[in-house]
Amino acid sequence: MSFEAALAEAAQATDTLLDRLVGVPDGLEARVFEAMRYAVLAPGKRLRPFLVLAGAQLFSVAQRSALQAAAAVELVHAYSLIHDDLPAMDNSDLRRGRPTCHKAFDEATAILAGDALLTLAFEVLAESDTHGDPAVRCELVTALAQAAGAQGMVGGQMIDLIAEHRPDLDIGAITHLQRMKTGALIAFSCEAGAVLGKVPHEPRLALRGYAHDLGLAFQIADDLLDVQGSAGETGKPVNQDAAAGKATFVSILGVDRARAQAELLVGQAIRHLEMFGEKADFLRLAARFVIDRRT
Ligand code: GRG
């Protein structure tokens, strides 16, 4: 199967579960469910669910368990995009090629939809479908909370907001910011299968190394798309960082060195996978995909 077909299959399986998890009830609260569905089922790449499923396949984890973790991480991702687009943050009108959640609904509904997606993610992980062993479920809940919270994505977003007024930030500071903002959730996605498979320390460390390099390569590609991509392709506004005078990998390194750095990171990420042999081929292809993508 090609990488594109595997990515599409992972997206389809994740969306089927998300569709079931976010059903719309009767009653006035239906509006928040509509907003949740609008955001989480919008056409995105579903890269994080793909990483969960590909990581889980290394350890022959049951598909049902892996899908629960895949859905949980996409729920957190969708929440982060809703909140990131709000007027108090990036103030964006376009996401995944559609009006952002607060434009399609309203600001208060968008905030609530984000909150509800985030909390639903933990409910999903805590369900017995995720794993028969409550200790494993607990470990996943803790890992996702750490990746999404103030020591992970939220903390990274805080630094990012401060960075808008600090064009002097150097490459070390930007790397730290991005490891928290986007890297932490990507790392959770890569390691979730190892948690579900109760695997020993060494393979987990290898996946952590892979995720670390992949996350940075992903972010450099995102910065490159901001200067070289189009809103038509990416489905979101471009040239946002430069307009805000923000320090990014591209503003510091320039386009060519940033691209070379991303290539270097992809090579490094792939080398971390040696111990898994052919089983990790989709993860190898995912590493190339994150820097070759146009969206
Ligand atoms: C508001 C708590 C809070 C956090 C927001 C992740 C994030 C922090 C904001 C997203 C803004 C952004 C564009 C970050 C760059 C990297 C990134 C997460 C891009 C979007 O992820 P993709 O490319 O999107 O995987 P799709 O739509 O394909 O799922």
Is the CB of residue 11 below 6 angstroms from any atom belonging to ligand 1? no
Is the CB of residue 47 below 6 angstroms from any atom belonging to ligand 1? yes
Q: What is the pLDDT of residues 217-236, one digit of tens each?
A: 999 999 999 998 888 888 88
pLDDT of residue 20: 98
140 Cβ neighbours under 8 A, 6+ residues apart: 69, 72, 125, 130, 131, 192, 195, 196
Is the CB of residue 259 below 6 angstroms from any atom belonging to ligand 1? no
Q: What amino acid occupies position 139?
A: E
DSSP lists the bridge partners of residue 96 as none
**Helix residue ranges, H only, 96-237:** 101-104, 107-126, 134-148, 153-163, 171-178, 184-196, 201-228, 231-234
Is the CB of residue 154 below 6 angstroms from any atom belonging to ligand 1? yes
pLDDT of residue 114: 98
Which residue is closest in CA terms to ligand 1's atom 24?
44
Which residue is closest in CA terms to ligand 1's atom 14?
182
Q: Are 72 and 46 in contact (CB under 8 A)?
A: no
Residues of the chain with pLDDT under 70: none
3-292 belongs to which CATH class?
mainly alpha
Q: Strands 98-99 and 94-95, how do they pair?
A: antiparallel
Question: How many angstroms separate the alpha carbon of residue 84 from the centre of ligand 1?
Answer: 8
| Ligand 1 binding pocket mutation candidate from 84, 158, 218 (most atoms within 8 A of CB) | 84
Q: Which atom of ligand 1 is nearest to the CA of 96?
A: 27
Residue 293 phi, psi dihedral angles, 5° rounding: -65, 155
Is the CB of residue 153 below 6 angstroms from any atom belonging to ligand 1? yes
Is the CB of residue 222 below 6 angstroms from any atom belonging to ligand 1? yes
pLDDT of residue 240: 82
Is the CB of residue 183 below 6 angstroms from any atom belonging to ligand 1? no
Q: Which atom of ligand 1 is nearest to the CA of 47?
A: 25
Question: How many angstroms separate the alpha carbon of residue 82 from the centre of ligand 1?
Answer: 9
Q: Which atom of ligand 1 is nearest to the CA of 48?
A: 25
Is the CB of residue 44 below 6 angstroms from any atom belonging to ligand 1? yes
